[in-house]
Structure 1
C-alpha cells in the first residue's frame, strides 16, 4: 500500500464575494478595522479588474494540479490535498485541523510564492507548524523554488516570446523589469533576510537564459505602514530608467507572484502601464505561470529535493 501523507498548499487568500472584503481587510491589518474610504478604495481596485480577484479560483487550480502531478511522480506515496489561506477561510489552522481529523500524521507544505522570506513564507510555515504541533503532525516545508530550472525556463520562454514582438533593432531600447512584492525594509535588514538576494539571483538567471540585453530589479505593491519598504518601486523605477536610458519598451515580469491577481492585474497592468503611457513607452507583461506544467513541475522537483 502507498504511504498516505498530506499536501498543505498555502496562499494569501482573497475575498470570495464583496461582503467578505471588510473581514478580509481587517485580518490583513491584524484585527484593525479599515476605514470606509480604505474599503471603498479596495473595492474600486477589484471593480477595475472586472470584479473580485481570480486568485481564489487559480489557487485551487494550482493546488489540484500540484497534487495530481505529485501523485503521478511518486509511486510509493499518495498525497491528499489541503489548502490553507493566510487571511480568509479556510485558514492555515483550519487545513491542519482537517488533516488531523483525516488521520494524517505527516505532510509536505508549500507556499504559492517562489522566494523565501521569514516574513512571508516563513510566517506561513510557522503558523502551520504551531497548529501541527497540537496534533503531533510532522511537517516538511518547501522554502523556495525560484532557482528550479523549470521555473527559470517558464519565465525565460515568456520573456523571449515577448521580446520577439519587438523589432530586433529596438532590443537595445528594451528593458526587463523583474519584481516581487515589497516588504518592510527594516525587518529585512535586521534579520539578514534572504528575500532581496533571491530576487537578485532570479534576475541574474533570467538575464543568462534569455536574449534580453538590459535587466532592472524593482519592488511593488508595498503596504501603507508609514515605514520604509524595499525599493525602488516599479513605477518610480520605470520613470528613472526612462530618464537615464530612454528605453522605449518595458517588459514587466512580476516573478515574485505566481498567477493573475490584483497585484498584477492592477499594480502592473494599470499602474505601470499608466507610467509607460506618460513617458511614451510600450508596456508588456507576459502571462503569469498559473497552472503551466513548467511551473507545477518546478514545485514538484523542489518537493522531491526535500522529501
Structure 2
C-alpha cells in the first residue's frame, strides 16, 4: 500500500514538472489542519506540542490515548487532508490556463508541520501562495494560530512570494449548499418526519474569554447555521458547542451533552447532529460525537444520528476550488507582497 501511494506521488511530481514547462506562472495552496498522531506512541509528544512544549500530566496523556484507542488507534485526518490536496490540485490545474498549481499540506501540531510545508513551498519557487485552514469559521484563537504559524514559518524560511490567508470561508455558497444537502440526506436516512427530528449544529468550543476579547466566532457560527438551515429548509434548529477541554476555566456553552439532555426533557425522540464547524472524520467527530454524544442520547432514549462529513467528497473539493479560485464567501487577508 505504502509503495503504491509513494509511486502515485512520484508520478504526480513528474506531471507537475512537465506541466510547469508549459505555463508562465506557478501558484500554490497550503491546506492546513490541526494534526493527529498516527500511532498511540505519538500521542504524548503530540499533546506536548499542543501545550506549547509543556509536559502534559500522565493522567491527561492516558485519557487521550484511550480516546484514540477507542477509535481504532488513530484517525484518518492526515490521509483525508492529503487526498483533498491531491484532488484540489487536479481541479485547479484543470482550468488553470497558463498557471500551474501545487497544493501542499501542513499541520499545526504534528507532522507534516506547517513549517515543513513552507520549506517545500520556498524550494519550489512559487509566484503566489494561498494559505487555507480547513476550518470554516474564524476565531482569533484557532484560525489566528494558523495565520501566525504561516507568518512565522515564512519568516524563518526567508519566503518572499505574495501570500494570501483565507481566514473565514463559511459563507461560501457551495459549502452552505453542501452541508444543507448532507442534512437532507440524513433526514431521509432517519426514516423520521423532519418535524420530529431535532437538528443540532455543533462546533468546537473555545475558552469563554474570547467573547470579552471581541472575537466574532459565536456570531459567525450563528450566521452560518442560520444560512445552512434556510438552505436545507429547516425551520427549527439548535446550536451547541462540543469538545471543550478541561482547563479549569469557563468554555463556550451550551455543550452538546447539555443540549441532548434538554431535548430529552422536552420529549424529543430524535436528534441529528450537524458538526458544521469541522470538515472531516477526526477525534472530535469519531469519539466526541460518535461515541460520547451518541451514548448520552441513547441513555436518554433519544435516537441519534449525524450527517456525513465533507471529507474528500467531490462537492467539498469543488467548494474549496471556488474559494481559492474566486474567493466567493471568503474573507481574505494579505500576509506579504
TM-score clears 0.5: yes
Shift of residue 55, structure 1, vs aligned partner: 1.1
Matching of residue 183 in structure 1 with residue 220 in structure 2? no
1:122 to 144, 148, 155: 144
2:185 to 161, 170, 185: 161
Shift of residue 27, structure 1, vs aligned partner: 0.5
Correspondence for 1:111? 133
Correspondence for 1:73? 95
TM-score, normalised with respect to structure 2 = 0.86
- Between the aligned partners of 2:159 and 2:177, the Cα distance in structure 1 is 39
Matching of residue 193 in structure 1 with residue 218 in structure 2? no
Shift of residue 276, structure 1, vs aligned partner: 1.0
Change (3 A) 1:203 1:80: same
Greater CA drift, 38-47 or 297-306: 297-306
SS at the partner of 1:80?
Answer: strand
**1:10-25 aligned within 5 A:** 10-25=32-47
Greater CA drift, 46-55 or 133-142: 133-142
Correspondence for 1:3? 25
Matching of residue 87 in structure 1 with residue 70 in structure 2? no
SS at the partner of 1:22?
Answer: helix
Answer whether contact 2:39 2:73 (CA < 8 A) is retained.
Answer: no
**1:37-68 Cα deviation digits (max 9, x unpaired):** 22221111111112211111111111222222
Shift of residue 108, structure 1, vs aligned partner: 0.8
**1:210-232 Cα deviation digits (max 9, x unpaired):** 24342000101112221111111
Structure 1 unmatched ranges of 5 or more: none
- Between the aligned partners of 2:113 and 2:191, the Cα distance in structure 1 is 48
- Between the aligned partners of 1:175 and 1:5, the Cα distance in structure 2 is 44
- Between the aligned partners of 1:130 and 1:138, the Cα distance in structure 2 is 15
Answer whether contact 1:175 1:212 (CA < 8 A) is retained.
Answer: no
Greater CA drift, 100-109 or 43-52: 100-109
Answer whether contact 2:137 2:221 (CA < 8 A) is retained.
Answer: yes
Shift of residue 36, structure 1, vs aligned partner: 2.1
Shift of residue 105, structure 1, vs aligned partner: 4.5
- Between the aligned partners of 2:96 and 2:144, the Cα distance in structure 1 is 26
SS at the partner of 2:239?
Answer: strand
Matching of residue 279 in structure 1 with residue 279 in structure 2? no
- Between the aligned partners of 2:126 and 2:318, the Cα distance in structure 1 is 25
RMSD: 1.7
Alignment: residue pair count: 304
Answer whether contact 1:218 1:237 (CA < 8 A) is retained.
Answer: yes
Correspondence for 2:288? 267
Matching of residue 202 in structure 1 with residue 224 in structure 2? yes
- Between the aligned partners of 1:48 and 1:88, the Cα distance in structure 2 is 20
Greater CA drift, 206-215 or 41-50: 206-215
- Between the aligned partners of 1:106 and 1:302, the Cα distance in structure 2 is 16
Shift of residue 183, structure 1, vs aligned partner: 0.9
**1:255-296 Cα deviation digits (max 9, x unpaired):** 111111110011011111111111111001121000112211
**1:56-111 Cα deviation digits (max 9, x unpaired):** 11111112222222222321321122211111122112211221122234211101
Greater CA drift, 143-152 or 25-34: 143-152
Matching of residue 98 in structure 1 with residue 120 in structure 2? yes
- Between the aligned partners of 1:162 and 1:21, the Cα distance in structure 2 is 33
TM-score, normalised with respect to structure 1 = 0.93
- Between the aligned partners of 1:166 and 1:269, the Cα distance in structure 2 is 16
- Between the aligned partners of 2:217 and 2:191, the Cα distance in structure 1 is 35
**1:145-198 Cα deviation digits (max 9, x unpaired):** 211121112111121122123456x43331111011111110x21332121111
